[in-house]
Structure 1
Amino acid sequence: MKTIIVTGSAGLIGSESVRFFADKGFRVVGIDNDMRAQFFGKSASTEWNRDLLKNQYGHLYQHYNLDIRDRTEIEKLFKEYSTDINLIIHAAAQPSHEWAAKDPHTDFTVNANGTLNLLEATRQFCPNSVFIFTSTNKVYGDTPNYLPLKELETRWDIEPSHQYNDGIDESMTIDNSKHSLFGASKVAADILVQEYGKYFGLKTASFRGGCLTGPFHSGTQLHGFLAYLMKCTIMGEPYTIFGYKGKQVRDNIHSYDLVNAFYHFYQSPRTGEVYNIGGSRYSHCSMMEAISLCEKIVGKKLQYAYAENNRIGDHVWYVSDVRKFAAHYPEWKYKYNLVKILEEMYSSQVSRL
C-alpha cells in the first residue's frame, strides 16, 4: 500500500491532505501533538479534527502524537515505514507573527529544526519519496509593502502597469526586509527544503502560500483570518482590524485546491522547486470586503473595532502569481472561489455549534 506521512495532520492543510490521499487509497501516517492549543489556547485545539479523521478513516489513518523536534522519535518512525513512504507533506508549524516574538526558541525549533529532522529522515530512510513543504509568503518579509500601491474605496491595489499586477511571483527577493521572527524561521526551513533537493537530489518543493483557509481551520485572532472572522460574525464576538484602514488585501486559497496542487506535484515531481501558491486574482479580497461578505452570508452585522497600528511585518497587499505552477502542471485548476470558501466555512462552523 502506498504510504504518505503528513505532519500537522489534524490542522487545516494536514487534515485536508489526510482526507484527500486516504480517499485515493493511500495509507496515511499522521504526526500531530496538538501544539496549536499550546500556541493559541484551548479554543484552537485540533483534537476534534484528529478524532474525526480516526473515526472516518479507520485503518487507513494511523496517528502518532509526536513532536517533530524529537529527532530520535522521527527517525524511528521513518525507519519503521522506510521505503514504503511515497510522499511526505510537511504542514506542521508555529504559524503566528506575534507568538514567535514571545518565544523565539520554540518558534525556530518547530519551524526550522523540525523541518531539518524530517528532511534528514527522508534522506536516510526513503530518499526516493517526494517531500512537500508548506512554506509561506512571509519569506518575502515586508518587501511587498514597498510596491507602488494606490488606495481605492474598499482596498489597496497595485498600479495596473506593474509587473506584479497579476500577483507576486517567485522573482521577488527575500533579502533586506523585515520578516518577523516567524518569517525568518520559515525562510530557514524553506531554504533547507530547496537545498536537500539541489544538494542531495531529493524531490522537494516549497509551496509559498498566501492565506490558506477552509472549513477545517481552527481560527484564532493570531492565525486563521477568514475562519476567525466568520466565527466572530456568527457568534457576535468582537473583531479587531489592525491598521491599513481595513483595506489590506489577501488572496485566499481553499485547502482542497492547495492539496490538489500537492497531488499534481507528487505525480510528476521536480527537484528543489519553489512555487508561490494562493488564491491569486481568482480568489482575493480586502479586510473590509471580507467583512461585507461574511455579514451577507451570516445575515447579521459584525461587531468590530479598529486599531491604528498594523501588525509588525504585515502585508498591505499580497496576491500570489501562480502562473509558474500552472505552467508546470496545466491540469491543475481552482475548485473554490472566495464566495464558495466562505459559504462552506459558514455551514461547517454552524454545524459544529
Structure 2
Amino acid sequence: MKRMIVTGSAGLIGSEAARHYDELGWRVVGVDNNMRRSFFGSDGDTTWQRERLVNDCRSYQHAAIDIRDRDAVFELVREVRPEAIVHCAAQPSHDLAAQIPFEDFSVNALGTLNLLEATRRFAAEAPFIFTSTNKVYGDGPNLVSLAEYETRYDFDDPAYVEGIPETFSIDQTKHSLFGASKVAADVMVQEFGRYFGMNTVCFRGGCLTGAGHSGAQLHGYLSYLFKAAAEGRSYTIFGYKGKQVRDQIHSRDVIGAFDAYLAEPRPGAVYNLGGGKANSVSIIESIDRINQLTGRELSWELSETNRIGDHIVYYTDLSRFRKDYPGWRITMSIDDIFEEFARISLAARSAA
C-alpha cells in the first residue's frame, strides 16, 4: 500500500486530497491540529471534517501534531516514509497575519522548512506538493492597466488577457505579512527542488473553493457568503466597490492537478492554479448569484477601506500547467460551483 502524508488534512484541499487518495488505495496520514479554529473562531473549526475522514475513509490515520514542532515532524516522516507529501497546512489570512506575525511566519515558513528537511532526510524520492498562493505576487497585479465595468473590474492590457502568469514578478510589491511568509515557503520549496534535485512543486492558488471549506470572514469568502446568506448574517465588502474579481477553482480540480503532477513529477516546478478567466467572478456578481439561487437577499455593506495588499483583479493564466500536463482540465464551471454551494446551503437550512 502506498503511503502519503497530507498536512492541513481537515481543511478544504487537505480533506479533498485525503479522501481522494484513500479511495485510490493509499494509506493516508493526515496532519492537522485545528489551528484554523484558533485563527478564525467557530466558523473556522474543522472538527467536523476530521471526524468525517476518520469515520468514512478506509485507511486514514490522523496525527494532531503542529508542523512547527520539528521533532514531531521528523519523527512522523521517519516513521511513515511516505511516497508522496501534500502540504496544505497554513495560516491562510493576509488580514490576520498582521495581528499574529510570529505565528503566521512560523506556521507558513518554518513549518514548511521542517517538512522539506524531514522529506529530504527520510523520503527524498517522494514528490512534495505545496499549496502556495497568488499572494506571492503581492499587489503587483494592481499595477496592470484595468478597465471598470458595471459589475466588475478587469485587466485592460493584452499581455494579461488570459490572466497572471508565473513570470509575473514577486519582487518590490506589498504582499501583506501572510504573502511574505508564503513567499519564503514558496522559494524554499523551489530551492529544495533545484538544489537537492527533489521533486517539489509550488501550486500558486487563486480562490480554492468547494463544499468542504470551513469559510470565515477573513478567509474563504465564497463559502462564507453562502453561510452568511443561510444564517441571515450581514457581509462586509472591503473596498473597490465590490467589483474586485477572483477566479474560483473547485477543490476536486485542484486534486486533479495533484494527480497529474504525481504521475509525472518535475523538480522545482512552479504553477499558477486557479479557475482561469472563465471561472472569474466579482463579489457583487457573487452576491447576485447567491440571491438568485437561494431566494434570499444577502444583507451586505460596503467599507471604503480595502484590505492591505489585496488584489483588485486576479485570475490565473493556466497556460504553463496545461502545456506540461495536457490531460488536466477544469471540470467544475463557475455555475457548477455556485449550484453545489446552493444545494448544500439549502439542505442545511431545511435540516435546521
Please give the alpha-carbon distance, in whole angstroms, between the structure 2 residues aligned to 1:350 and 1:214: 15
Alpha carbons 2:68, 2:107 under 8 Å: kept: yes
RMSD: 0.9
The reply on whether 1:306 has 2:305 as its aligned counterpart is: no
Cα distance in 2, alignment partners of residues 57 and 234 from structure 1: 29
**1:137-171 Cα shifts (integer Å, max 9, x gaps):** 00000000010001101000111x52111110001
For 1:1-353, list aligned pairs within 5 A: 1-58=1-58, 60-82=59-81, 85-159=82-156, 161-352=157-348, 353=352
Measure how far apart 1:231 and its partner are.
0.8
Q: Distance in 2 between matches of 1:131 and 1:66?
A: 19
Unaligned runs of 5+ in 2: none
- How far 1:287 moved relative to its partner? 0.7
Secondary structure of the 1:69 match is coil
**Does structure 2 retain, via aligned residues, the 8 Å contact 1:215–1:349?**
no
Give the Cα–Cα distance (whole angstroms) in 2 for the partners of residues 91 and 350 of structure 1. 29
TM-score of the superposed pair, with normalisation by structure 1:
0.97
Moved over 6 A (4+): none
Alignment identity in percent?
A: 53
Report the count of equivalent residues: 349
In 1: Cα distance, 2:51 partner to 2:324 partner: 36
Residue 43 of structure 1 and its aligned partner are, at CA, apart by 2.5
Asked if structure 1 preserves the Cα contact closer than 8 Å seen for 2:138 and 2:179, the reply is yes
Shift of 1:338: 1.1
Residue 97 of structure 1 deviates from its aligned partner by: 1.1
For the structure 1 residues 151 and 265, does the alpha-carbon distance in structure 2 shift closer, same or farther, using more than 3 Å as the test?
Answer: same
Decide whether the 8 Å contact of 2:8 with 2:90 is kept in 1: yes
CA distance in 1, matches of 2:222, 2:120: 37
1:236-267 CA-partner distances (Å, limit 9, x unpaired):
11000110000000001000101110110000
Distance in structure 1 (CA, Å) of the matches to 2:217 and 2:88: 20
**Deviation at 1:45?**
0.4
- 8 Å CA contact 2:294–2:346 kept in 1: the answer is no
Determine if contact 2:10/2:49 at 8 Å carries over to the other structure: yes
Give 3-state SS (helix, strand or coil) of 1:250's partner.
strand
